[in-house]
Amino acid sequence: MLMILLVLQLAGPLMVTVVALMQLAPTWLERVEEFGPGVGRLTVPAAALVAPLLLTVFLVATLVSGALVTPRADLAGELGDVLSGIQLRDLLVTWLRTSVFFAIICAWCVRRCRLGLWRQVPQGEIVSELLNHGIVLILLLKLVWIVAVDPIKLQ
């Protein structure tokens, strides 16, 4: 139950969004430079659609790594307990949260890339600022989600 709480409620969307931001920020900068300011109309929906897939991969990786450290005699029982603890509603809410986080981060990054290129800031500096400010924005989104949208219930 604790792993489900950690992966789905606390760390999952946050980790997926941070790792994706680190991987995709340079790509988004290149797309803005190549295709211009309208690239957000394609990139933001694509980011929202790919986020649940990335979270599912993260969840599977967590389950597999948990199974690898479990003694073999308890493997089937532990895996069954973990999978039975996952509720569809929690999974859907987590997918939605990850999509929203990633779409907001993508839109923000595209906007910041556009401004940086317009101001003729070096590309390395733009990407560095995207990563620094993006992580803070992700943490703020997480805080708003926990406080306003879906408070964590420990029962």
Q: What is the structure's pLDDT at 8?
A: 63
Q: Is 2 domain-assigned?
A: no
How many structural domains comprise the chain? 1
Mean pLDDT of the chain: 83
According to DSSP H, which parts of the chain are helical? 2-4, 12-35, 40-68, 75-85, 88-118, 123-144
Nearest to 66 by CA among 135, 2, 155: 2
Could you read off the pLDDT of 134-154 as tens digits, one per residue? 999 988 988 888 888 777 665
Q: Is 81 domain-assigned?
A: yes
d(CA 46, CA 99): 10
Could you read off the pLDDT of 19-78 as tens digits, one per residue? 888 998 999 999 999 988 788 899 999 999 999 999 888 888 877 777 777 666 666 676
Could you read off the pLDDT of 95-114 as tens digits, one per residue? 888 899 899 999 999 999 99
Q: What is the structure's pLDDT at 4?
A: 60
Domain that holds residue 142: 14-65+76-146
**Is the model's pLDDT at 12 over the cut of 80?**
no
Q: Is 6 domain-assigned?
A: no
Q: Is 70 domain-assigned?
A: no
